[in-house]
Amino acid sequence: MQTGNGPTQKGLAGDGPTRGGPAGDGTAGGGPEPGRKGARLPAGVYLLAFSLFAMGTAEFLLAGVLPAVAGDLDVPLSSAGFLITAFALGVVLGGPPFAVLSLRWPRRTALLATQGVFAAGIAVGLLGGYEVLLLTRVVSGVAYAGFFAVASVTAISLVPRDRTARASGVVVSGLSVAMVAGGPAGTLLGHFVDWRGGFWAVVVLTLAGMAGCYAGIPAGAARGDAGRGAGGGRPGVARELAAMRDPRLWGIYAITVLTTAAYMITFNYLAAMLAEVTALPEVWIPAVLALFGVGAFLGLSVGGRLSDGRPHAVLLAGSAGLVLLSLVMAVAIRHAWAVVPAVFVLGVAAFVVNPAVYGRVFAIAANAPTLAGATTVSAFQLGISGTPVLAAAALTRGAGLASVCLIGAVLAVCAIPFILADRASAGRVRDGAGDQGAGG
């Protein structure tokens, strides 16, 4: 199995040119040939998903133990909240520069290095005071973003051209498990032992992920070889930066930020709404949150299987679903019998778009995917971390908790024009490729 070559991307039926089309919407050469539909993905893809689960748990764990952290470190709760912000800043601002600096590293080396730095950052932070923990959260955020970006590029290099979005969906599923299972489980562990207990578990799981990646991911070639193919030649920093100047890529990032914020603003306040508006017994709230995760798994599975062929159809369906379901949630939250199925379907719509996002990013930046992939991770994080600001703007003005669902609907509506613009752009590229073929 070839891993030294870069990401591969199938010609997007109905959405873009086939392999060998114009650079920037075709596919990088190399990589495995198309395989049997429905065939099992390589074990390396699942190892990457497990590693992302381990590392992503640290992101969602802190919120559940924040009061304990503030009390133990003798800082105000607001200061403890900066620990969440520090991690987000590391992801948003540090991931892309790290991707460029590590461009020439072999993929497995980059994966192991980011996992090692992440685990070391978490461990050192647990041994120091507030200032040390604040600094190591930034470092861990950078390492997390770097791993996420390299893992995405590695995953699509391990599969045939017709399963790249599906492979991306499996890797991203690790993050959804971290959100709905890893974070709550770590919080529970922290309540039984000490708030540090969940984070020590993250360190152990990350080290296990390192061992798995070392054993299951081929050493491959330098990631600078990733773009060899349609564009020819060996790409470096210049080509990565040139790919980032494509306005279509920034349209996809806008879609990423808006759709992520659209569902996260509801999910972030879902527990509070279930307790205060639905009046659901506290013992049932974790089960409803887990139901969102079940829907997320289904959405990733469906999106991964459909996005290789029709990414824009998936993006439009997912965004329209977010609009509709956010509006439904604003009403259904008052009735337990209605909100439970609505939460499940919201999880499906929320995560069905993620494989399509990655499919488009790696189609547009096929010859220089590393920095583009890292920036995609930053866009996801920006969508997650920006929701408290939007929610606070409504809640501090006296709006009810259910108003966050309406904000989510507006955000999803705003994503649709960007999706339509990208679909039109892909159509023009496809038509231009056809004209060139006829002229030749």
128 and 221 share one domain: yes
Q: Which residues share a beta bridge with 222?
A: 106
425 and 295 share one domain: yes
Average pLDDT over residues 102-123: 91
pLDDT the model gives residue 112: 95
411 and 290 share one domain: yes
For residue 430, CA distances in Å to 162, 242, 311, 434 come to 18, 21, 15, 6
For the chain, how many structural domains are there in total? 2
Q: Per the domain annotation, does 371 fall within a domain?
A: no
Show which of 201, 230, 259 is a domain's final residue. 230
For residue 161, CA distances in Å to 6, 37, 272 come to 11, 11, 43
Nearest CA to 387 among 290, 257, 300, 298? 257
* Radius of gyration over every alpha carbon of the chain, rounded to an integer in angstroms: 21
Q: Per the domain annotation, does 221 fall within a domain?
A: yes
253 and 206 share one domain: no
pLDDT the model gives residue 221: 47
More confident residue, 351 or 192: 351
For residue 167 the two structure tokens come to 């492979």
pLDDT the model gives residue 227: 43
321 and 399 share one domain: yes
Q: Give the mean pLDDT of the chain.
A: 81
253 and 396 share one domain: yes
Question: 99: alpha, beta or left, given left = phi > 0 and alpha = psi -120 to 50?
Answer: alpha
Alpha carbon distance 348, 370 (integer Å): 28
Q: Per the domain annotation, does 33 fall within a domain?
A: no
Average pLDDT over residues 263-275: 87
Nearest CA to 411 among 381, 395, 387, 377? 387
Q: Containing domain of residue 127, as a range?
A: 1-27+42-166+174-230
Average pLDDT over residues 394-412: 92
Name the percent of the chain in helix, strand, coil, to the closest 5: 75, 0, 20
Q: Per the domain annotation, does 440 fall within a domain?
A: no
Q: Is the pLDDT of residue 330 over 70?
A: yes
Q: Per the domain annotation, does 211 fall within a domain?
A: yes
Average pLDDT over residues 384-402: 85
For residue 258 the two structure tokens come to 């808006």
For residue 125 the two structure tokens come to 């932070």
pLDDT the model gives residue 113: 94
9 and 91 share one domain: yes
Burial class (CB in 10 A: 0-12, 13-18, 19+), 353: buried
Which band of pLDDT confidence, cut at 50, 70 and 90, is reported for residue 269? confident
Domain CATH for 323:
1.20.1250.20
Alpha carbon distance 310, 293 (integer Å): 24
pLDDT the model gives residue 19: 35
206 and 328 share one domain: no
Tell me: the pLDDT tens digits for 9-39?
A: 333 333 433 333 333 444 333 345 444 555 6
For every residue of 183-241, which 3-state class applies, written as one string? HHHHHHHHHHCCHHHHHHHHHHHHHHHHHHHHHHCCCCCEHHHHHCCCCCCCCCHHHHH
Q: Is the separation of the CB atoms in 48 and 154 below 8 Å?
A: yes
59 and 13 share one domain: yes
For residue 148 the two structure tokens come to 């996420």
Average pLDDT over residues 61-83: 82
pLDDT the model gives residue 431: 61
Q: Model-level pTM greater than 0.85?
A: no
**Any residues with CB less than 8 A from the CB of 170 and at least 6 apart, and which?**
41, 45, 46, 49, 155, 300, 304
For residue 114 the two structure tokens come to 């980011």
Q: Per the domain annotation, does 238 fall within a domain?
A: no
Average pLDDT over residues 161-178: 78
- Tokens 């051209």 correspond to what residue? 161
Largest CA distance in the chain: 73
57 and 106 share one domain: yes
Alpha carbon distance 168, 172 (integer Å): 6
For residue 421 the two structure tokens come to 């613009």
Question: 233: alpha, beta or left, given left = phi > 0 and alpha = psi -120 to 50?
Answer: left
Crossing angle of helices 387-395 and 247-268, rounded to 10°: 50
- Tokens 């759709």 correspond to what residue? 259
Nearest CA to 241 among 367, 67, 62? 367
Tell me: the pLDDT tens digits for 230-256?
A: 334 444 778 888 888 899 999 999 999
20 and 135 share one domain: yes
Q: Per the domain annotation, does 372 fall within a domain?
A: no
Q: Per the domain annotation, does 100 fall within a domain?
A: yes
312 and 183 share one domain: no
For residue 290 the two structure tokens come to 């887990």
Q: Is the separation of the CB atoms in 60 and 178 below 8 Å?
A: yes
Angle 26-32-37 from CA coordinates, rounded to 5°? 90
**Any residues with CB less than 8 A from the CB of 9 and at least 6 apart, and which?**
19, 26, 27, 28, 156, 161, 164, 359, 362, 363, 366
